[in-house]
Amino acid sequence: MRIVLMGAPGSGKGTQAQRLVTRFHIPQISTGDILRQHRKEGTELGKRADAIMAAGKLVDDATMLDIIRDRVARPDAQSGFILDGFPRTQPQAEALTTLMKDLGTPIDAVVLFEVGADELVRRISGRRTCSLCNKVFNIFSAPPASPATDCAPGSSEHQLFQRKDDEEATVKERLRVYEENTRPVLSYYSDAGLLRTVSAEGAPEQITQRLLEAVGSAAAAAKPPGGAKPAQPAKSTRRAAPRKRAARAAAKRRGAAKTRARTTGRRTPIRKKAKSKAAARRRARPSAAAARKGAGKSRAAQRRRSRKSKR
């Protein structure tokens, strides 16, 4: 099963992706994570990305597609994967479709996590990070415990701060950019019949259930209808053809005979197959033997009458 997850920042893709990983045992492929891994390991793709970023540019689509190609070719992704963070534009979506077809692994479904704008702002602007242990909390949905038992040694309270990216004004701008760039991608996948929309508001368990239903319908659509079996090779009809022709001819003769019987008032005998000479000889033998036996009896009777007359 090959799935693309889409949704605005704060829609909960990461949380639900991990639940899919646990359920289906397929990897989550985050383009941001694998890009950082290539750069850290100093691979050829990582060096190419470093050179682009050093020039103050964004990593181009061709490089990102090569990174995705490398990742989906690994053994753990052969049964499927969950792609997160790509594509973000329609040209990227079109290029990804071409890549997956070339690899013989087309995308099965694109799942959109739908959340209202006000709820997204609340979720993201409520994020707080602890300056002591770097743990992330949300003052609305996941506030830190007090006193803190999981913070840095010697600290009984988390020291929270808000990142600039999580400030409300910044969040609204991020959502505007997302809307502008991503909506054409959704239209592209909708036209392709791959888009599934999931309401991502409510309890996490409820969202997971909706996601599983959407993914399940996509998996069913990807299978051959009715569990169709591979087509069997056609049987040869060379030997059966003469038999069929003979049967059709016999039926035609019977039909003609019935028609004549209806029109003339008497039945017309249907010509039977000629009997073989061997069969005729076999049937003739008993008659010849009987004739010889009769002739013998006649001669014996004549001899008896002759003897009586002499007496």
Among all residues, which ones are annotated catalytic?
13, 88, 127, 163, 174
- What is the C-alpha separation between 113 and 17, in angstroms, rounded? 11
SS3 276: coil
- What is the C-alpha separation between 150 and 181, in angstroms, rounded? 40
- What is the C-alpha separation between 8 and 115, in angstroms, rounded? 8
> Looking at residue 135, what DSSP letter applies?
-
> Looking at residue 92, what DSSP letter applies?
H
Of 124, 143, 123, 147, which Cα lies nearest the Cα of 135?
Answer: 143
> Looking at residue 166, what DSSP letter applies?
G
- What is the C-alpha separation between 310 and 65, in angstroms, rounded? 131
Distance between start and end Cα atoms, the chain: 119
**Sheet with 127-130: strands ordered across:** 136-138, 127-130, 160-161
